Amino acid sequence: MDVNGTASTSITENRKRKKSFMVRSQARNMAKHILLKCEEEKRLNKYTFTVNQALDRAAYYTGLSKRVLSNIKKEPVDAQGCLKSPSKKGRNYTRKNILNVDNFDRQVLHRCIEEFYLSKKTVPTCKKLLSALREKINFPWGVTSLRGLLKRMGYKWQKCQSRRRILIERTKVLHARSVYLSKILQFRESDRQIFFLDETWIDNNLTFKKCWRDDNINANITDKSSSNQLILVHAGSSSGFLNGAKLLFEAGPATGDYHGQMGVNFEKWAKEMLLPNLPTNSVVVMDNMPYHSLQDNKPSKSSTKQAKIDWLARNNVQADLSMRKDYLCDLVDLHKSPENTFKMDELLKRHGHDVLQLPPYMCDLNPIQLALAKVKRLVREQNVTSDFSLARLKEVTEQAIMQVTQADWRRYDDHVLVLEELYWQRDGVMEDVIDSFVIEVRDESSTSNSSSSDFSESDSA
């Protein structure tokens, strides 16, 4: 018994002796730095700093700055008198000035770029563009954020023959705008009824912000957090709001804006309120919000027979359960479209209507936004104390909708007609201007320096 006890004790002591203390690379480098400094003082036979210069001596031996050492001195220690290692997980990084630019500000940026090419006859750099943009709107961010915004808006930097970089819109964005403008022009010339739809929310705490200028509308309304909130979905044309298409309901408690609460509600609204009230052979214009562009999923090879039969029935193809699954798959492949199809588009087309999707970042081509801006302005004029109950807020909103007249809608539609013509003309001119810059721009040293430095600037500049 004693032998075993003695043996176990000796093994434990050996394990303790064999356990070495690990000095990591950063600590080893600092130890080496201190050792070299001590050997240097030994060789010179004198101290570099006196005993009273404690902070200077510590900085000299460790190689750390006096500021870092002062901060370390202030840090608390644990029960053993040791400092805790800093943890990245424990740090709270507060990001200031998060880039949040609405569609109206994006349009101002788009027009600033056009002014450089068409009016100033020069290629914009990010630095020059930032300066011009700040003269028109409040843009607190720097060059780096502006460059990221341009990328999200569909712009890119293209090298020309002189190796100078030129800011241009991507082909996909230009094509979407060109297709939209040409199609809506055809519909207008064919005297088709065009209905624009959109959604917004209204609450009892509204403040003015900005919108596209109109004679009777000074500003758009931006929403703040509120206990009572309504979501408004509507459609309208140059004749006014579409009768029977108004959906006004209480917003749920979910965080974020109203877009997150529109998925199922939008499809239900389109089936139950929009379609029954649309005149025959109408054109419906909507933006590219995700719930507007839900894809019509085609059945896959692993889908059930019934799913395939239902899809074939919606596409006017006869099929029944007696058919084999592989034959149904062949029928689906034979009748499916090579391009992606969308639920809302197919729903409206089945009822004899055409669908147009607004090009990206072209919210100013949607006249219903001006109509909804007037509704929110009228609500705000009534809501002086910002304490409306939900019932009162709904009542005031109903009254505001009725005050948007047919004359207002005609004015909004005329305003959009002017913009459509302006975009069509400017895009045509911009193509020629961009081509001339790509081919003929001169490689001046001063310009090249400004362009290259433009890419290295950050928000702190």
Domain boundaries, the chain: 24-77, 103-164+441-454, 193-296+341-422
User: Binning pLDDT at 50, 70 and 90, where does residue 308 land?
Assistant: confident
How far is Cα 2 from Cα 211, in angstroms, rounded to an integer? 92
How does pLDDT run across 326-357, given as a tens digit for each residue?
888 888 878 776 566 777 888 888 889 999 98
User: Binning pLDDT at 50, 70 and 90, where does residue 317 land?
Assistant: confident
Look at the chain and count its residues. 461
Residue 269 has pLDDT above 70, yes or no: yes
**pLDDT value at position 129?**
93
- Residue 289 CA neighbour count, 13 Å, CB half: 21
Q: If you average pLDDT over residues 278-285, what whole number do you get?
A: 93
Q: If you average pLDDT over residues 302-314, what whole number do you get?
A: 81
How does pLDDT run across 64-84, given as a tens digit for each residue?
888 888 888 888 877 777 777
Q: Which is more confident, 437 or 56? A: 56
Judged by DSSP in three states, 250 sits in strand
Rg over alpha carbons for the chain, rounded to the nearest Å, is: 34
Q: Phi/psi zone of residue 87: left (φ > 0), alpha (ψ -120 to 50 degrees), beta?
A: beta
How far is Cα 203 from Cα 206, in angstroms, rounded to an integer? 7
Q: Phi/psi zone of residue 354: left (φ > 0), alpha (ψ -120 to 50 degrees), beta?
A: beta
**pLDDT value at position 92?**
52
Q: Are 210 and 166 in contact (CB under 8 A)?
A: no
Provide the percentage of residues in the chain whose pLDDT is more than 70.
73
How does pLDDT run across 221-246, given as a tens digit for each residue?
444 445 678 889 999 999 999 999 99
Most confident of 121-130, 226-235, 316-325: 121-130
Residue 195 has pLDDT above 90, yes or no: yes
CATH code, 193-296+341-422? 3.30.420.10
**pLDDT value at position 255?**
43
Beta bridge partners of 357: 286
CA distances from 258 to 193, 231, 254, 292 (A): 28, 7, 9, 14
